[in-house]
Structures are given as structure tokens and as C-alpha cells.
Structure 1
């Protein structure tokens, strides 16, 4: 984008140039009383006008750097999301391979946060500030050289070319530093993309072998993909939020439990990160609601699945953090392309200015070049101020666990894994209401951070007791009901908001969620 800084006679007295530089009517040619008549080249009462344009636009550059910094912050927090991603160890033969690929992704995430995350500020933005400060330092010196029309012209021209060439070298450093940072970003992104592809293929092969779960797998994969796409869109809207007086950048990492089990933990945990200015907190809260909505939907679909099945169905959750990080790489690359294009254009324009000065035969033709230089210095002052504000923005980190959702999930678990029960109770598992042989598995209820087991009484009375344990495996609530014993099946009745337990002779007891809920401390 070329910014017009003025329209004025090509040659006029110095006071006219100063008047133009102080004019608020940018782009509107001030009308001067024609006083210039140099060596008979200009005719009296004639107007000679030339438009001077400036490619360096401080507002645009500062906005581009702000967007680049936000994209870099988003990528950094996405990497933290990758580090927060977990898969619960299982005895399945595929676990070692998939977990190994996840660890490769986490190694790359660590590399980015430890090595590359700060380079935009420490290298690129710092280089910009140094270049702007160089323009400020040289401003009076170069302006005085432009004004030295009565001195030794060859000497003045040589000094002017040397001074401007030095500033051009500083600009060249910005172009090179930006290109180097972008190359590192692209290389890192390609390596992460390779790991993501391997993980996706492994997950696909694992899920393809579960023929009886294909309907659940397909539905869950669609939900995870939709959530990922919506999160990426929402994060972009958050990134575009601007404030004149930002209080800093906040990193928020959402922990998403795709397959909850005992103690509020999860067989598949995904970390989703977002960076925002403090003033955009309402948008971050909306993103949390979006994530929680998808999480609740995915978890609710796991009714009656055992732990192994729930984990297998939600394996694509391991890819969420990496997919978002790759989206951040693409956004960052686009932002850096825009920045580099702006600096390339300014560098080329500055080369043209130096070239015109080099070919000048006398100082009278430097008026446009002087005007260009003064305008460039003004733009640089604004760029330095804006860039210093970007570097100085404080960063804080918050972790939000969406995991503690309010969706009850009934799951089949190993009966032997139960926690200690009161002395007058026992916990057994059965095959059916008519087959009271000991079964290996029983049903439990996972609800938020609590896990509910159904126990019978040692005296074999016709009663069941729902035992509630918190995430620290402490027994925090008991709800006993009479009328049935020896539970063999547990079902969550979503319409009536109750847990139905079927026991011997298929007699049933119902526990309302309102009865089971643990009051907040």
C-alpha cells in the first residue's frame, strides 16, 4: 500500500516545503505563490506539481506486527495444549505406537515454546525497533545534509548516500530476520504435520478394527472435527479483537475430557489453547461454552460403553491440539508474508531514493527525496512506539478444565477395581437377573468429578446403596433404597433424569440425579 504524503511544486523555496510538511491537508495540493525560477528552467507564474508517495505505513505495519504477535501467541499456547494432551495407558497392542507418536508431537511443542516462541519479539521486533531508532538518530544529520545546498556538492552527496545506505542496511536486516523466522516456522510446521499425519493414520487403523463400534466412531469423529473447526473460527475472532490500551495477553488452556472415568480423570484428554487480550475475555468465555457443549455431546454418546470402547471411540481427540497448532502456523505464515512484503516494498523504494541522489547533478533536485526522508522518519517514530508496546505486553496463563461437565455417563468397568466400601456392605457383579454368577465387570456412574458404585448389604436385604466417591477417592455420599438387590445393569434415563438399576429377578430401583448430586463445598 502506497501512502500519499503530499502534492506540491517540484521546486520551491524551503519555507514552502516546511509549510507542506506541517499541512494537515494530506493529498490536497497547497497553492503557492510562484516564486521559484531556477536557471530559467521554470517559467514565472507556471505550476509544476509532482505527487510523492510513501510505501511505509506505520498504522498498517503496526497492525501487521500486532496480528503476527497474536498469531505467535496463539501458536505458543496451542503447543501448551499439545503438552496437556494425554492418553490413559492400556494393555492394547496399539497403545505404545500411538503414545509414542503423541510424545513426538509433544517434543515438537516443547521445542517451539522453549526455542522459537520468543524469537518474533527477541529477533524480528527488536530488529525493527533498532532500525527505527537508527532513523531517529540520523534524522538531523541527514536533514542537514539535504539542506547543505551551498557547500561542496560532491562531498555532501557522498555523505548523504553513505548515511542513507547505512539505514538501508538496517532495513535489509529486518527483511532477512523476518524471512529467517518464517523459514523456521514453516520447517517446524512441516515436522508437526508429519507427526499429525502418522497419528491420524494410526488412529484410523485402530478404529477400523472395531467393526461393532463404527456408528459411534463415525458420530464421534464428526463431532470432534466440527468442534475443532468451530474452535479455530472462534479463536480467529478473538485474535482480531483490538484495544487501544490493552492490559496484556492472556493464555487460556482448556482441558477437555473426551472419555471420563473414575475421579474426574479421562482416558483421552485434549488441551485447547487460545491467546487473547484481556479485554476479549467475553469472547474467551463464549469459546469455553462452545467447547463444553461439544464435550457434553461427545461424552453423552458414550452411555453403556466400557472404558476400552470409550477410549477407542474418542482417539481422534488426541489430534485436536495439533490440528489447531497447524492452523496457527498457517495464520502466522500469512501474517509474516504481509510483513515481509511491506518491508520489501520500503527497501526497494529506499533504493530508488538513493539511486536518484546518486545521479543528481546539483542539490536543487533533492527536494522530493528530502520530503520522502522526513515522512519516512515520522512513520518510523510511530512504528517504534507501536512495536515497543507489543514487546512490553505482559502475558499471563490460565488453565480452565472443561472436564467437569454435568453429563452423567454410565460405563462398564472391572468389578475388582472398586474402591473400599463400608463394613456392612459388599460389592459384587452379576450377569443377569436370573444368573447370579460372579461377572468380571459392573456398571458405574461417572458424573463430573464423582464416581458412583452400587453396593449390596452384607445381610442380603432387598436394598441397594449408591456410593459416591470424589476425585480423591473419598466416600462423600451414600443414597440407599429398598426394593431390589444384586444389581446387574445400570442405565441413565436421560428424559427423566434418573439412574435405573436392575437387579435380581429384574426388579428395578431408580435414583434421581437430584438425589445423587453432591452439594458444593
Structure 2
């Protein structure tokens, strides 16, 4: 039945966390900015960034729609059909427990087959979403590779500030690693009883403020969080600490070089998007496995009912179906909140003035 070790409530929450994280990471790239420069590197880097921004705007606008249609709406529809069919199917079971009747058995099997077909559509919906995500992800991977290549080319030409570039690139790598570690924990944060959707938008802003600064940002989006808020706060503190180190290494450089030494920071956004896609793949694979097991369970129940002759056979099948309906009565309201609930958005801006 539904109440397994990897239950539907948990997996739907995890999947929604993952898509919100991706959307927030996308928005982080949209809000990224490079201060205009007359140097030759600026136009090339700006073009690479704009390409990534166009891609993430596309997914920011359509990705949630796809997720709602292919996954959340299908889950809601399936659950509502189970709940709507409950009384009729339970009545059929009760009648068969009292006295076997081939006509009633046929009606029961037909009803259960109809419900099984809706479960199978859940698996198909996830596959459809994954196909769309993969096609978009291939474009983003290409944009990420181009950005890395361009940044590397620009920085390799700056031999006179190589030590600063190497030092800051090392810090940026540490930031990316910390973001990935913390986001893994945030994505799997346990649900609160009162579920809501929140996201924190953090981006990359390469601007030489007074004293010199680069804002290192990534996107975080979570649904139904309990302990995630503390992890987000901890990540914010870690980024601020890294930011202080970058500021120190930038302090003696001119404005143009302050941007050059932090250009690798632009790849944090695209890398985080690709990393979030891996989280979605993991979450959806778990959900697909769950639906496949559930479909197999239903088929086994249908097969047993087809051969059933004793009251005990119908009693066992009825207990399974009743437990499934009770679980759906929790899943449907949760999925409705995740689908229709407003998203609370906050921004983190890190700077040194």
C-alpha cells in the first residue's frame, strides 16, 4: 500500500523541494549582473551570461507549469478518484464477503483496473516531465561549459594577478561545495504540519562597490520545511565568511581586475542549476519507483480477487484498499497546497560598503 518506507507524502514534498530549488537557482542567474567594462573580455562574458539567463527565464516560466501538470495534478486526480470510488468499492467488497457473486466481482475488478490505470499515468507523467527537463538541461549544460571556458580564457591572460585569481577561485570552489552540501540537507528537510512554499533568491553580482565587492549568490527554494530555515541561515553565514576573504584578496586591485578575479563566481549559478537537476532526478526516480511498486501491488490484488472464492480473500483485499484510501486522503490535500500555495520569496544581498 502507499504507507511504505518511502511514502508518497515524503516523496512529493522532496520532489517539490527540488523543483523549487531549481526555480530559485534559475532566478539567481536572472538576477546576476556584471558591471559594464570597456575591456575586451566584458562583451564575451556578458553574452555567455545572457544566454544562460534566457534559458533560465524559459524554465522559470514553464518548469513549474510542467511539474504541476505532469506530477502534482496527476497525483491529485488519482487520489480524488480513489476517494470518490471508495464507498462503491467497499460496498462491493462487503457484498462479496457475505456471498460470492460473479457480477459484483466483475464490477469490482473493473473499478480497480480503472484506478490502476490512473496510477500508471502517474509514472507516465513523471517520465514526460523528466524528458522536458533533460532537453532543457542539455542546453543549460552547454551554456555552463561555454561560460567556464570563457572565464578560464579571460583569467589565463591576466598573468600579473594570477595569485589573486588562484586564491579567489579556490574560495569560490569552496562556496560551491558548501552550497551543494547544504542544499542536499535543505531539500530533504522534514515537512511541517502547516505546509508552505518559500524560496530564497541569491545571485551573482560582480560590481566594484566602494572598497570593492562581489556578491556570491545561489538560489534556494523549499516546500514544507521544518529544519531548513536553520540550514539556510547557516549557509548565509558561510557565504558571508567566504565573501570577507574574497574582499580581502580584491582590496588592492583596480575595479576591472576586481571583476576579473571573481569571474568564476558566475559559474556558481549555472553549476547550482545543474546540481539541482540531479536532485530532481533522484527525487523523481524514487517517486517513479514508488508508483511502480504501487501499481504492481494493485495488479496482485486484482489477480487475487479474480481467483478469490473465500470470504477471507475479499477481507484481505478490502483492508488493503481501505488503507490506500486513507493514505490518499492525506496525500491529496498536501498536493493541492503544494500546487496552489503562494510562494514566499526573500532575497539575500551580501556586500561590503
Question: Taking structure 2 as the reference length, what is the TM-score of the superposition?
Answer: 0.90
Instruction: Tell me, yes or no, if the aligned pair for 2:31 and 2:204 is still in contact at 8 Å.
Output: no
Aligned mates of 2:104, 2:63 — CA distance in 1: 44
Matched, 1:239 2:187: yes
Matched, 1:324 2:324: no
Over residues 222-281 of structure 1, what are the superposed CA-to-partner deviations in whole Å (9 max), with x where a residue is unaligned? 11010111122223333333353346232222355555235x886x65542222448744
The alpha-carbon deviation at position 305 of structure 1 amounts to: 1.5
The one of 71, 74, 81 aligned to 2:28? 81
Aligned mates of 2:99, 2:193 — CA distance in 1: 48
Matched, 1:212 2:160: yes
Aligned mates of 1:302, 1:395 — CA distance in 2: 37
SS of structure 2 residue aligned to 1:183: helix
The one of 162, 169, 181 aligned to 1:221? 169
Aligned mates of 2:314, 2:11 — CA distance in 1: 32
Aligned mates of 2:104, 2:26 — CA distance in 1: 54
Aligned mates of 1:255, 1:365 — CA distance in 2: 59
Aligned mates of 1:369, 1:238 — CA distance in 2: 39
Instruction: Tell me, yes or no, if the aligned pair for 1:84 and 1:269 is still in contact at 8 Å.
Output: no
The one of 275, 279, 282 aligned to 2:221? 275
The CA RMSD measured in Å over matched residues stands at 2.5
The alpha-carbon deviation at position 284 of structure 1 amounts to: 2.6
Q: Which moved more, 1:85-94 or 1:332-341?
A: 85-94
Residue 167 (structure 1) aligns with: 115
Instruction: Tell me, yes or no, if the aligned pair for 1:56 and 1:342 is still in contact at 8 Å.
Output: no
SS of structure 1 residue aligned to 2:202: strand
The one of 332, 356, 371 aligned to 2:304? 356
Q: Where is the strand percentage greater, Structure 1 or Structure 2?
A: 1
Instruction: Tell me, yes or no, if the aligned pair for 2:190 and 2:226 is still in contact at 8 Å.
Output: no
Residue 254 (structure 2) aligns with: 306
Matched, 1:114 2:79: no
Q: Which moved more, 1:344-353 or 1:153-162?
A: 153-162
The one of 314, 326, 340 aligned to 2:288? 340
SS of structure 2 residue aligned to 1:353: helix
The number of aligned residues is 350
Question: Taking structure 1 as the reference length, what is the TM-score of the superposition?
Answer: 0.62
Instruction: Tell me, yes or no, if the aligned pair for 2:203 and 2:217 is still in contact at 8 Å.
Output: yes
Aligned mates of 1:155, 1:246 — CA distance in 2: 45
Residue 145 (structure 2) aligns with: 197
SS of structure 2 residue aligned to 1:366: helix
Distance 1:245 1:139, change over 3 A: closer
Distance 1:244 1:304, change over 3 A: closer
Instruction: Tell me, yes or no, if the aligned pair for 2:34 and 2:46 is still in contact at 8 Å.
Output: yes
Aligned mates of 2:300, 2:280 — CA distance in 1: 30
Over residues 374-398 of structure 1, what are the superposed CA-to-partner deviations in whole Å (9 max), with x where a residue is unaligned? 2222222222233334335431111
Matched, 1:381 2:332: no
Aligned mates of 2:269, 2:33 — CA distance in 1: 11
Matched, 1:143 2:90: yes
Instruction: Tell me, yes or no, if the aligned pair for 1:80 and 1:273 is still in contact at 8 Å.
Output: yes
Residue 287 (structure 1) aligns with: 235
Residue 100 (structure 1) aligns with: 47
Higher relative contact order structure (alpha carbons within 8 Å, sequence separation ≥ 6): 2
Matched, 1:60 2:7: yes
The alpha-carbon deviation at position 193 of structure 1 amounts to: 1.2
Distance 1:243 1:61, change over 3 A: closer
Structure 1 unaligned segments of length 5 or more: list them. 1-53, 406-447, 449-521
Distance 1:58 1:164, change over 3 A: farther
Please identify the structure whose Cα radius of gyration is greater.
1
Aligned mates of 2:82, 2:275 — CA distance in 1: 36
Aligned mates of 2:323, 2:259 — CA distance in 1: 62
Aligned mates of 2:89, 2:258 — CA distance in 1: 71
Over residues 332-383 of structure 1, what are the superposed CA-to-partner deviations in whole Å (9 max), with x where a residue is unaligned? 1101100110001000111122222233457664332222222222222222
Q: Where is the helix percentage greater, Structure 1 or Structure 2?
A: 2
Residue 371 (structure 1) aligns with: 319
Distance 1:57 1:393, change over 3 A: farther
Instruction: Tell me, yes or no, if the aligned pair for 1:124 and 1:174 is still in contact at 8 Å.
Output: yes
The one of 396, 400, 423 aligned to 2:344? 396
**What does 1:415-426 correspond to in 2, within 5 Å?**
none
**What does 1:405-416 correspond to in 2, within 5 Å?**
405=352
SS of structure 2 residue aligned to 1:305: coil
Distance 1:255 1:139, change over 3 A: closer
Instruction: Tell me, yes or no, if the aligned pair for 2:3 and 2:327 is still in contact at 8 Å.
Output: yes
Aligned mates of 2:3, 2:306 — CA distance in 1: 22
Matched, 1:177 2:120: no
